[in-house]
A and B are shown apart, each in its own frame.
Chain A
Amino acid sequence: MAEVLEVIDISKSLKLITLKSLYLSKAKPGQFFIMQYQEKPERIPVFIMDADIERNAVSFLLQKSDDMVVTEAFENIKPGQKLHYVEGPAGKPFPQLEYKNILFVSINWGFAGIYNVAKHLKPKNKIDLAFINSDAVHLEDLRSYTGIFDSVYEFDSVEAFSKIDKPYDVVVSAGSNELAKELVSVYEDKNVLCAVITRMLCTVGLCLACRIQYDGKLKLPCVEGPWLEANKIDFDDLNRRHLILKEVLVRSRKS
């Protein structure tokens, strides 16, 4: 169980939650954790936005959604409450990159993962942010957290996103598999790293629920990710499986 220390309403669809957790507060940049709001809901992988080892605290973004059990958590979470279960930190930390021009691209709650990694890379890199506004989250909602970026760009859709005329060495995205797929086509000559969104159950590489096709082989984002080279991911396969999961969850919530 982990105690909720703080809940900040960022927008009508987004909350910043801070939890007390000794182990999660030791998370390295880019790692995530698993949250179970109640005993028997879906296990939800959550990006760590900030980890404060001195306070034994960790923060993350929780976004309201119609098709995930997370909505129930979103509507009810409050300070003092104890979450049924948290597990982690999990996944591999973000690879260390130095003296590069990095473009971070984010949509929705994926900003948490981007913020966490960007803060870590800022001292030795030039970091820009391109944020894709969605119905749920606008860049304006997150303004208090964008100060770490050297430049910030805003777009209203993935389709509107086009090449930003700068010599980026690496493009890093989080928040949407579709966005990552789009970036691969836009930045075909760049190294695009993305945080894969997939269903996770065991988080220790045993159950294979999160498996994706990567460079023609099986890859397990729960232990080998979440940060992977986007051009090697079979997004058609990934998104097909991801869509099915959404359907299952929607049906489950309705029944």
Chain B
Amino acid sequence: MKKIRYYDRNQEVLMPVEKRTKTFEEYSLGYTINLAIDEAKRCILCKDADKRCMKGCPINVDIPGFISKIAEGNILEAYKIITQTDIFPSICGRVCPQERQCEGACILYFDTVRNKRNKGLPVNIGALEKFVGDFVRISGIEPSVEVEDKKGYKVAIVGSGPASLGCAYELARRGIDVEVYEALPKLGGVMFYGIPNARLDKSILEYEINKLKKMGVKFHTGIVIGRSVSLKELKESFDAVFIGVGAGRGNLGIKGDNLINVYSAIEFLMNIALGCPMADIKKVAIIGGGFTAVDCAISAIRFGMETHVVYRRTRETSSARDEEWDHIQEEGAIIHWLTQPKEIIGDENGYAKGLLCVKMELGEPDESGRPRPVEVPNSEFVIDCDAVVLAIGQKPNPIAFEELNLKTTKWGTLEVDQHYMCSVDGIFASGDVVNGGDTVVRALKEGKEAAKHIYDYLINKFRRS
């Protein structure tokens, strides 16, 4: 009988701390083929994986299927299995919070059927997925994608983030002509502008987008839908329109948010991605506890800033990956859990010079079931800093759809029906602009799902007419 290897999880090789804090090169160097095969052999290939790791994966990748192929040394076959559902294995392997998805449901770690913690460490599914994607890309193998015959319909896609790319892939595969309109110079949305190169090398994104180009997807940059071209014009020129403009506009609303050197997270990260000049910041306080806050911290550390992260809740309730908190702590970030920022303090010239905070403790559960943080009396303190980054909340960019008065929710997100169609016939949307901001993999999934509904819409519409 095969011995179950509960504990000997293979970790990816990391760049040494002293080296990685000085470079924006990727710090997680990935598996060698030997390590990947060894890790793949830890998987016990559960027969009921659809109730476990596969269920935990938002796009239901056939995890035992691809892992068994790695164990056999057949990486190309593993790639084919993954890409049946996940078109970007190299990206999802890097940016998904696997410990709350597939790995959180790995039987070695947690028995989802019996709902009880098991004694071991999960198979490193994320690292294996990344390995497969990287192996194929670096080998120069070009796996073919079967594209159906042209159906004679064309769809415009607004934005080029993960939802849009997922939608573009699925439509192009089904023989629909797709044109993607992006305002910014680089394609990929949050994957280019929001995730630092240290976590997702931009060349990977470029490779994946080139795959779509080879499938016939056309990309246009520099076009601001709602300004350069109206949504109405787009709708008149195409058989359907998909809106995947994401959500990046963060919340401000803290006293002192208009001081000099107070940035929204997307401004801070875009500055870096675009290579724009940065102010000379020595100490930065980043407010937030999600992926975006971690990405800001990764970037700030690499610019040599003393980096503080301030989050009102605990690490357990954070949406960022566990290991990323470990990584930035190793790199010197000072993390203030259960800390509520109250005010950004400015100097006489209008520069930020400190963040007034108060300590919190966990109280009774709130409506979400999470313990509500409550202020600890007389616990105010000031974090000395010369810049503050607000990585809290997300709102969609409305200019793409304001003109047609598409119905929105009270949070400003687009209202869609069960087919991802907006309140105007022929206009669809998904991803962050609908869900308000979530993971790359969820956006990818919803983009693909919307594409299936767009396809049905086109086929039925033209069959009727």
Contact = CB atoms under 8 A, between A and B. Distances in A.
Interface of A: 23-24, 26, 31, 34, 36, 39-43, 84-91, 201-209, 211, 213, 218, 223, 237, 240-241, 244, 248-249, 251-252
Given A43-B276, A202-B183, 5 more contacts: A87-B184, A87-B185, A88-B224, A204-B224, A249-B277
Interface stretch (B24-32, B199-207, B259-267): B259-267
A90 B227 contact: yes
Closest 9 CB pairs of A and B: A252-B277, A40-B275, A87-B222, A206-B248, A207-B267, A208-B264, A209-B267, A207-B266, A206-B249
A207 B399 contact: no
B228 A23 contact: yes
Dominant secondary structure of chain B at its interface with chain A:
loop
14 contacts: A42-B277, A87-B222, A88-B224, A88-B227, A91-B227, A201-B276, A202-B184, A204-B399, A204-B400, A206-B397, A207-B249, A218-B258, A223-B227, A237-B258
Contacts of B45: none
B258 to A, nearest CB: 6
A23 B183 contact: no
B278 interface: yes
A23 B276 contact: no
Nearest to A240: B350
A42 B276 CA distance: 5
B279 A201 contact: no
A248 B263 CA distance: 15
B236 interface: no
Interface of B: 183-185, 221-224, 226-229, 245, 248-250, 252, 258, 260-261, 263-264, 266-267, 270-271, 274-280, 349-350, 397-400
Most A Cβ at <10 Å: residue of B183, B222, B226, B278: B222
A244 B266 contact: no
A251 B281 CA distance: 13
A57 B258 CA distance: 38
Contacts of B278: 248, 252
A205 B267 contact: no
Contacts of A43: 274, 276
A231 to B, nearest CB: 19
